[in-house]
Amino acid sequence: MKIPLIIWLGLLLLSITESKAQNVKRQTDKHIVHQQERMVFKQWDRKKFTPTKGFLGLNYQYWLTWAWHPNYPKTDLRPLSAAGPQTQRLLMVAAMKNTEEAYKLHADTLRNTALSEMVNYAGVASVADPLWQLYYRHEFSPLIDGQNVDPMDGAEAEVRDYLTRTGVKEWYLEESRALAERLDAARTTNLDRGSRIMAYHRMLTEYRELSTLWEAKKNRAKLYLSLTKANEKAKVSDPSIAVPTGKTDRQIADDILSKSKL
C-alpha cells in the first residue's frame, strides 16, 4: 500500500512543477523596454536612458551602466533613423530601382532604334514599305509580271513578225530583264530606305523611257509596213516606176530601226 501512495505523490509533484514551468512571466523591466523602443520605432530619447543619474548624480547604477558607454546615449543607433542602416538600405534599394528603370528605358530606346533601323535597312521588310505599296508597286507591275505580259499585246501579226525578225523584240526583252533584275536587287539588298527609294525613282524613269521607246518602235514598224505595202501596190499598178539604185525602202527602214535600238 505504501508503494502506490508514493507513486501518486511523485506524479502529483511532477504535475505541479510542470504547470509552474509553463507559466512564463512577461518581461516588464523598464530598462529593457526602453531599449527595445529605442532600437525599433520610437525616438532616440536620451531622457529614457535609465537608470538616470539621480539626485546630484549619485545614482551608482547609472555610473555602473553608462560610464562604460559614454557615447552610446548620444549616438542614434535606430535602424530606421535618418542615417540608420535600414533607412540607408531602403534608400539604396530605391536608388537601384531608379537606376534599373533608367537602364531599362535606355535599353528599350536602343531596341526600338535598332528595330527601326533594321526595318529601314532590311531588304526583307522593303515589301511592307508604304511608298512601295501605294505607288511603286503599281508602276512597276508590268515589269515585275513581265513573264505574264506579252509586249506585243495589241500589235498586228505583221508588226509582230517584223519586230521579231529584226531583233527589236529580243532587244526589248533583254532590256526589261536587266531592269527587272536591278529592281529585284534594290528590293532585296540591305540598303538605307532613302537610297532604296532613290533607286526606285531612277529605275522608274528608265522604265518609262524604255516603254516609250518600245511603243515608238512598234508605231514606226507599223508605219513602215504600211508604207511598204503602199509602195509595192504603186509599183504593181504602174510598172514604169523605176526602182532607185542602191538600197531598197525595206533595207533603209531596217537600218533605221536597227539604229534606233542603240
The answer to whether residues 168 and 106 belong to one domain is no
**Alpha helices in the chain, H assignment, sequence order:** 2-22, 30-40, 60-66, 85-121, 130-131, 137-139, 141-144, 157-165, 168-188, 193-237, 249-260
Is 260's pLDDT higher than 80? Answer: no
Average confidence (pLDDT) over 158-169 = 85
Both 104 and 168 in one domain: the answer is no
- Which of these three, 93, 121, 149, is where a domain ends? 121
Q: Do 211 and 238 belong together in one domain?
A: yes
Residue 23 pLDDT exceeds 60: no
The predicted structure's pLDDT at residue 183:
92
Contact present, 179 and 146 (Cβ < 8 Å): no
> Would you give the distance in Å from CA 105 to the centre of its chain?
14
Percentage of the chain exceeding pLDDT 90: 18
Grid coordinates in use for 50?
A: 535609465
Is the distance from CB of 151 to CB of 206 less than 8 angstroms? no
Give residue 17's pLDDT band: very low, low, confident or very high (50, 70, 90).
low
* 240 in the same domain as 176: yes
* Range list of H helices, 41-167: 60-66, 85-121, 130-131, 137-139, 141-144, 157-165
Question: Are residue 112 and residue 192 in the same domain, yes or no?
Answer: no
Q: pLDDT digits over 118-150, tens only? A: 777 777 778 888 888 999 999 998 888 866 677
Q: Are 188 and 129 in contact (CB under 8 A)?
A: no
Of the pLDDT bands very low, low, confident and very high (cuts 50, 70, 90), residue 101 is very high
Q: Are residues 174 and 254 both part of a single domain?
A: yes
Do residues 63 and 96 both lie within one domain? Answer: no
Q: Pick 100 or 13 by higher pLDDT.
A: 100
In a domain, 19, yes or no: no
Question: pLDDT value at position 25?
Answer: 60
Is 32 part of any domain?
Answer: yes
Boundaries of domain holding 256: 127-260
One domain for residues 63 and 182 = no
- Report yes or no on 16 lying in a domain: no
The overall average pLDDT reported for the chain is 79
Position 162 in a domain: yes
Residues 71 and 88 occupy one common structural domain:
no
Q: Are residues 116 and 163 in the same domain?
A: no
So what's the pLDDT on residue 203?
93
Band of pLDDT at residue 153, cut at 50, 70 and 90: confident
Whether pLDDT at 197 is above 70: yes
Does residue 96 register a pLDDT over 80? yes
pLDDT at residue 236 above 70?
A: no
**Rounded distance, CA 241 to CA 55, Å?**
155
Give the pLDDT of residue 87.
85
Phi, psi of 59 (to 5 degrees): -80, 110
Number of domains in the chain: 3
Please check whether residues 162 and 220 belong to one and the same domain: yes
Same domain, 90 and 72: no
